[in-house]
Structure 1
Amino acid sequence: MALLLAGGAALLAAAGYALGLRAAPPNAAAPSAVDIGFAQFMRGHHDQAIVMTEILLSDRSSKLAGLASAMQAAQLIEIGQMKGWLQLWEKPLLPASDSMDWMLLGKEPPDEALSRYLIACRNSPGGMPGLATVEELQRLRTLRGEERDRLFLQLMLKHHQGGLPMAQFAAYNARTPAVRTMAAQMVVEQTQELATMAVLARR
């Protein structure tokens, strides 16, 4: 089962990578710091979501398997696309630091909401709010059944809430059309997933 999941994940990531390579033609405008920062940081942000979904899906008793599988598939494709862009741009796959200051380089000066988010990023381990700690991930691994489902929802709600402002920013401020399109799609998908998870968490 684990081998099948790993094989499927690799295929999805490879498909996303191929899409990323095709989405940026050689004569495309050079990416901005926003394009690069978004691709690097959201790729890392997605990596943790994949870890959490893999932990959840290892428990066959989970009632959230359908939701987790859908989230995993979408994010693996997006990781592949972002990796493809970064390699085309000849940029590192991961940022050199945890600084989110690339979000200061938008079309307009930061408003109050963005300023609060950047302060939260500076005060958060890992550079952005909502990331699960090592201890939280280990606890997720040790729980089973409804307890694991409940903690997964709590962690993933925080995770999405922490990453959503980044996607909203890139959807408006990225220079590359493919990056703006992906970021806008993430906003829609993750807003819907947040609503779904909020309902499930109240049950």
Structure 2
Amino acid sequence: MKRTRAFAAAISAVAAIALAGCGNGQETGSTPPEAPASQEQAASNAADVTFAQGMIPHHQQAVEMSRLAPERAQSQQVKDLAKQIEAAQGPEIETLTGWLRDWGAAPAPSTDHSSMGHGDMGHGGMGGMMTADEMEQLEQARGAEFDRMFLDLMIKHHEGAVTMARTELSEGQFPAAKQMAQQIIDTQQAEIDAMRGLLAQS
């Protein structure tokens, strides 16, 4: 019971972090069309573009992984975590896509299985991306096996996103993108801690 309460508290903390930043992310995503394009372009640099182009497929894969949980996971805690991940990253994908459009930058690469990353350096260096084989194995897993595989892969996936976000903080200049990067670090690091706690219980 203590571990369950501790996990619930951790998830509540993560949810609070996500809600605190969600309004900022979505608000940012809705305002660029109203701002002059020249101002948007002047406020962004190559690092911002790289961040958006990389984080979109990275988030898309996390959402794809999370959508497998309702029918495959045994642990309700894993199901709840997957739902939370999908709810947080879906709106960020929309915001990032809008920024690329407003900046006149190339769209993000596809997350189709045939073009998925190979190990940690897939998709041009995006850390933590699953291979097509790993995704297929996750799709085939059920119950406790799915739970362990999901947690292991999502921890690695989140660690890659945190690394990408830290690069944006140090090299980017678009204020809203840097704000999202910090939000990703805060939220996903908290989720990493929660997932490690679940693995320790299994």
Deviation string, structure 1 residues 75-96 (Cα, Å, up to 9, x no partner): 0010000001111111122269
Q: How many residues align?
A: 164
TM-score, scaled to structure 2: 0.73
Q: In structure 2, what is the equivalent of residue 8 of structure 1?
A: none
Is 1:57 matched with 2:70?
Answer: yes
8 Å contact from structure 2 (residues 74, 147) kept in 1: no
Partners in 2 of 1:79 and 1:173 — Cα distance?
21
* Residue number among 94, 103, 106 corresponding to 1:80 in the alignment: 94
Q: In structure 2, what is the equivalent of residue 45 of structure 1?
A: 58
Which sits farther off after the overlay, 38-47 or 172-181?
Answer: 172-181
Per-residue deviation, 1:161: 1.2
Partners in 1 of 2:164 and 2:128 — Cα distance?
12
- Structure 1 or 2: larger helix share? 2
Per-residue deviation, 1:168: 1.1
Is 1:71 matched with 2:69?
Answer: no
- Residues 19 and 178 of structure 1: is their aligned pair in 2 closer, same or farther, counting only changes over 3 Å? closer
Q: Structure 1: which 5+ runs fail to align?
A: 1-15, 97-120
* Percent of paired sites with the same residue: 36
Partners in 1 of 2:26 and 2:190 — Cα distance?
25
Which secondary structure state, in structure 2, belongs to the residue aligned with residue 202 of structure 1?
A: helix
Q: In structure 1, what is the equivalent of residue 161 of structure 2?
A: 163
Per-residue deviation, 1:180: 0.7
- Residues 54 and 84 of structure 1: is their aligned pair in 2 closer, same or farther, counting only changes over 3 Å? same
- Pairwise CA RMSD of aligned residues? 2.4
Per-residue deviation, 1:54: 0.8
Per-residue deviation, 1:21: 3.7
8 Å contact from structure 1 (residues 41, 94) kept in 2: yes
Residues 132-143 of structure 1: pairs in structure 2 closer than 5 A: 132-143=130-141
Which secondary structure state, in structure 1, belongs to the residue aligned with residue 127 of structure 2?
A: coil
TM-score, scaled to structure 1: 0.73
Residues 188-199 of structure 1: pairs in structure 2 closer than 5 A: 188-199=186-197
Partners in 2 of 1:145 and 1:178 — Cα distance?
39
Q: Residue 56 of structure 2 aligns to which amino acid in structure 1?
A: R
Partners in 1 of 2:120 and 2:55 — Cα distance?
18
